[in-house]
Structure 1
């Protein structure tokens, strides 16, 4: 794969691979997989992988989130030397660190990277092999706090009615701090959608693992468990579905959101078709086309969920979670069960 061009403002030049090497140190020190670290910083795992390999450049906001998740000095990631106690520069909360000639992507592209260290803390320079730790914010991870509050506000008011100022107020921080991690509304929506996707995938995996799902388990019972997870009963499930409604509208207009939309549905339908395929092998389902059945079942879930949410908006007497789940079970009986 070819090296990406300079691209939009905010990309960090890293021809020598030093920034990527420091980020790799942070990821390895986190004690988790690269995919899990990408989830923590609300970043596409493939983008993180490409940035680490040198075929894509990190953005300023991505490095800010990496520094936060890894509890390190963001200036160290860029190779900036930050000192306190009467030294050359003191970087308190919100202070900018000039990244010098290592920053590319337009005028001021690196000016938004903040050191994240308190006055009086002396940080290691660029040559330090060990990332200097930065104090944790009271939020225990500002990017995830921002994303969670964004999801809540989108669910309550809709994406286009939510202002950055509203998110900042919910996080008890400034709008500058929000833009520091997520430069624009598009990035916020993409992060919110990705977080909902990751939460749904994690919940699904945990539920199936708890249930004992696998090659030797009852595929019909496992499919019922998957359908229960897609029924908006809890407040969290309703919030995620409401964000999903905004996703449907934005996916037709935004390439980034459209890709997330396609990625999620591909994963979901693959999961469902795999369960149906095992059910056929076990003799509990008819000999149907697993992929086509998964597509039809997914369309039924989406349609019913939108009716449940519409009825719940003002306590309208309409389709409820119980009716939705009953209809989904009826599909299994009439279309799949032997």
Structure 2
């Protein structure tokens, strides 16, 4: 672990130069936004791997972030490394995000325990040392993969419901996002199923899993609560209704993924029809 009051100042400069919010920068370096905030505030230390990802994403030298010697001031008075290491063309989003994206893709194809660091390095056209530089262990990679999936899912939900006609349509849009129709949706569900198994065995992953589902259920409960106030949904306990609906989504999606594509009664359309029928029977105001 690394702590230096000046490190936080240099990280703030990297974020400012990136021209994005602190939360967006946390997403790019695949870091919990609250951890980034605490590290900048001095109540938590940055790990060496986190600083490596910050340096890579910000296009600065890790030694400069740590306050190593050999730093010069340019005419504008900003600090730059005197001898920055030569960099290849950075992949879209930076090397850390590329590593996480390829890790998630490989988990979907093979399962987490069948994915080797060598496989990830080959997919990223880099070395295993580079993978360990950003994510020292498999647990670090798994946590980053979970967090990336959470962020992507949250962003897709926000974009999908932005133009919903009313709360009933908003709930239908949220449901539609959960139907494993497209290759991308099936891919994401396969990742979730694998990560659920890890969450059951890992305290750290279990906490992430619990936090994500708490947010997901809160999102659904908020839509139901607004729908009740608007008269779109009948009077009900929003939290209990959200718990039952999200549990039904998970169960049906698991059946779809475990069944043959042409299995009768177990396809994406069947899942969608069942969910809409459930909402109409239990929530929709007639």
TM-score, length-scaled by structure 1:
0.78
Q: Gaps (5+ residues) in structure 2?
A: none
- Measured in 2, the distance between the counterparts of 1:277 and 1:310 equals 33
Q: Deviations over 1:264-296 (max 9, x none)?
A: 111111111111011111112110000000000
User: How do 1:32-71 residues align onto structure 2 when only pairs under 5 Å count?
Assistant: 32-71=20-59
C-alpha distance in 2, partners of 1:328/1:38?
A: 35
Name 2:263's counterpart in structure 1: 317
Q: How many residues align?
A: 277
Once the two structures are TM-superposed, the CA of residue 167 in structure 1 deviates from its matched residue by 0.6
The more displaced of 290-299 and 262-271 is: 262-271
Which residue in 1 is equivalent to 2:79? 130
Alignment-derived partner of residue 171 in structure 1? 124
Which residue in the other structure is 2:253 paired with?
305
1:204–1:23 distance in 2 versus 1, CA, 3 Å: same
Which of 91, 113, 126 aligns to 1:139? It is 91
Listed one character per residue, the Cα deviations across residues 128-152 of structure 1 (whole Å, up to 9, x for unaligned) are 7434577463423111111110000
Give how far 1:316 is off: 6.0
Tell me which residue corresponds to 2:174: 226
Q: Secondary structure at the match of 1:287?
A: coil
Three-state SS of the structure 2 residue aligned to 1:124 is strand
Q: State how 1:141-220 maps to structure 2 within 5 Å.
A: 141-209=94-162, 211=163, 213=164, 217-220=165-168
The alignment's TM-score, normalised by the length of structure 2, stands at 0.92
User: Do the aligned partners of 1:41 and 1:66 also contact (CA within 8 Å) in 2?
Assistant: yes
Distance 1:231 1:59 in 2: 38
Confirm whether residue 22 of structure 1 aligns to residue 26 of structure 2: no
Q: CA RMSD in A?
A: 1.7
Give the deviation of 1:252 after TM superposition.
2.0
> What does residue 281 of structure 1 align with?
229
Secondary structure of the equivalent of 1:236? helix
Tell me, in whole angstroms, the C-alpha distance in 2 between the residues paired with 1:230 and 1:23.
Answer: 37
Distance 1:155 1:49 in 2: 31
- Which of 135-144 and 156-165 deviates more? 135-144
| Structure 1: gaps spanning 5 or more residues | 1-10, 83-122
Question: Is the aligned partner of 1:334 residue 2:274?
Answer: no
Secondary structure, in 3 states, of the residue corresponding to 1:43?
coil
User: 2:209 & 2:241 partners in 1: Cα distance?
Assistant: 19
Contact 1:71 1:136 in 2 (8 A): no
More helix by share: 2
